[in-house]
Amino acid sequence: MCFLFILLFYAEMVLSNPSPDIWARGVETLSNLNLLASRDTSLTVYPTEPQNTGQLLEIHKFLKGLYGEERVKFNPQDGSLSWSISLHNGDTSDALQGHPGLRLGEETEESKRSEVVKRDDPYYIAIAANPDDDEQTKATREFLNSKVKNPNQEIIELHKPGTDHVMAWGNLQLTSDAKAAVEGYEGIKAPLGDDSEVTDERAVTTDEYLDVRTAPRSDEFWFSRRASKSVEKRASPVKRAVTYTKQEGAPAHLVMISQPKEMKDDKLKDFVYDQSAGIGTYIYVIDSGAAYNVKNVSSTCFNGDKEFERVEPLQTQHSKDDGEKNEEDGSAISHGTLVSSQAVGRKYGVAKAATLVSVKLRSKDRRIIDFLQGLETVTKHLEGKPDRHAKSVVISSLGFKSQMTPEKAKTDPDAGLMRTYFDSLFEMGVPFVSSSGNLGDLFKTIDRLPKVLEDKDTPIINVGAVDMDGNKPQMSQDGPQLTISAPGIGVTGQTKEEGKEGSQPGTSHAAPLVAGVISTYLNYDPPPWDGSKTGKERVQAIKDFIGTDASSWARKDERVIWNGAKKADHQAAGAS
């Protein structure tokens, strides 16, 4: 009896401890949690790979499914990501034991040494100390050849815009000793950039992202997204006569794009658009390539037709070296074909008469260097076609390097290289459209490259997602760097398989809709923004215009893109 009393007294002391340090002792404490959960308490768990966004999302979903959404809180503190779990009476923690990517307690030197999974040596990007010194860059390349882990691996070179001077090298897999040697080499500008993998901005599944965030917006946030009234006053009637036509029984995202505010309560079925939408314009899609010879699924207006009518293929050198075919989509989920069809496709696209310039990146083990090479391929292509500058828009629904901030991006080597290409692109007056990102469940505001670079000097157009009612799903990232929203839930498109339609939720599929609307305006004469603007000022004018009432309107709490078709245009086209 005395022994039992002592045991119960000891258990009471443990349970009443307001700051139970036992959580920091490591995995061995997991076996004790069932006893502790006999009374309400909390548990903190950590990811083993904080930069692995796919793993973060999987763990977040796993924990919410196990304990319930209200009892799992993600803590996005910089450098120390964690989840706090509220354990109630009767809860079990058995499922946490051995779950991939989870660690109990913060990482220590001891836990690092006991890590079971051995990770491969990482990949890096090295920036030339003086890109204009060809002799030095040649010697640096030879030095890098001697330092990479695999002497047969391909090193990718990036060139200074408008020149043949090498400014960086990527796809460099280096040991820790080799990395130190490279950073100390006179021909290299330290530190090295990360050459991490690139991810598509698509949500994992449809059903888990239908919850609408109800948190209030700050005045600062909304002010940054309001376009100046003076921009609306500058909008001029088009010299070229606009004749509207209709696509009967169109996909829901297109119907929403052409729905004017004055018809917001009408149950529309048709897509109303300028029948010359996109003629003579070019939409550059930087992605996994598009299966541009594929035919679409049967429909009222486009029965078994090729989805892509006008195509110019472009391909990065790395993709060519890997033996990839430019007419194929290297994505297992048809990401490039879906995005392309939503921008220019005959059935699914906004700017049906625009030319698709499909910029195919390497598909296997795609990294930041592949995206950078894609930017280089686009800027070089446009540099050789000055007559195309005023008729082009570039889009990419890719993202990388999570937990990036505008402040961090000021000194990040990868961000610096991207700015170099964006400066060249914007100098030509060509807008760049990007998806805002799908990590809103974890990081509410935009946190990845290239979209986090957005500012007055880098006027990237960042696009968030809404559902067909105008509600923003929780996964869609926002913040002061968001420009506009577009349908991103329930959006359909053409897959790389003949006659097969696909749908993936995510901001990936909102961005091409905005690019398609911009492409439509590029065909107007004069344009609906201040036509006297050139270069970066022109890009900013385009960005400002799509945020005005002439090209968007507020659905619920989000300003959503609109192609300008008014009620009279719907009536003239005989739309329903």
pLDDT at 131 exceeding the cut of 90:
yes
85: part of which helix (H) or strand (E)? strand 82-87
Res. 476: pLDDT tops 70 = yes
Residues 6+ apart with CB under 8 A from 326: 289, 313, 314, 315, 319, 358, 360
**Residues 296, 502: contact at Cβ < 8 Å?**
no
Region at 499 (left for phi over 0; alpha for psi -120 to 50; beta for the rest): left
Instruction: Let me know: does 129 contact 351? Beta carbons within 8 Å.
Output: no
Active site residue 335: yes
DSSP string covering 528-559: SS-TT--HHHHHHHHHHHTTSTTTEEEETTEE
**159 in catalytic set:** no
- Check 299, 508, 519, 552 and give the catalytic one: 508
> Helix (H, G, I), strand (E, B), or coil: what is residue 515?
helix
Lowest mean pLDDT among 85-89, 384-388, 394-398: 85-89
pLDDT score of 305: 83
Average pLDDT score over residue span 470-474: 95
Kindly tell me if the per-residue pLDDT of 329 is higher than 50. Answer: yes
Count of residues making up the chain: 576
Give the lowest-confidence range in 190-199, 222-231, 303-312, 533-542.
222-231
Given this model, what pLDDT does residue 84 score?
84
Looking at 91, 274, 287, 467, which residue is catalytic? 287
Average confidence score pLDDT of the chain: 84
Does residue 221 carry a pLDDT above 90? no
pLDDT mean over 229-234: 37
What percent of the chain lies above the pLDDT cut of 90? 66
Whether pLDDT at 222 is above 70: no
More confident residue, 212 or 472: 472
Instruction: Using the Cα atoms of residue 339, residue 248, residue 240 and residue 306 in order, give the sign of their dihedral.
Output: positive
Lowest-confidence segment of 94-103, 262-271, 327-336 by average pLDDT: 94-103
Q: How far apart are the first and last CA of the chain?
A: 83
Whether 287 is a known active-site residue: answer: yes
In this prediction, residue 69 carries a pLDDT of: 84
Exactly one of 335, 389, 509, 570 is catalytic; which is it? Answer: 335
Predicted TM-score of the model (pTM): 0.83
pLDDT (tens digit, 9 = 90+) per residue, 240-259?
A: 678 999 999 999 999 999 99
CA 274 vs. chain centroid, Å, equals 29
Greatest pairwise CA separation for the chain in angstroms: 97
CA-closest candidate to residue 518, choices 456, 445, 461: 461
User: Tens of pLDDT along 339-360?
Assistant: 999 999 999 999 999 999 999 9
> What proportion of the chain, given as a percentage, has pLDDT over 70?
81
**Is residue 59 within a helix (H) or strand (E), and if so which, with residue range?**
helix 53-67
**Over residues 85-107, mean pLDDT:** 75
User: How sure is the predictor about 203, in pLDDT bands with cuts at 50, 70 and 90?
Assistant: low
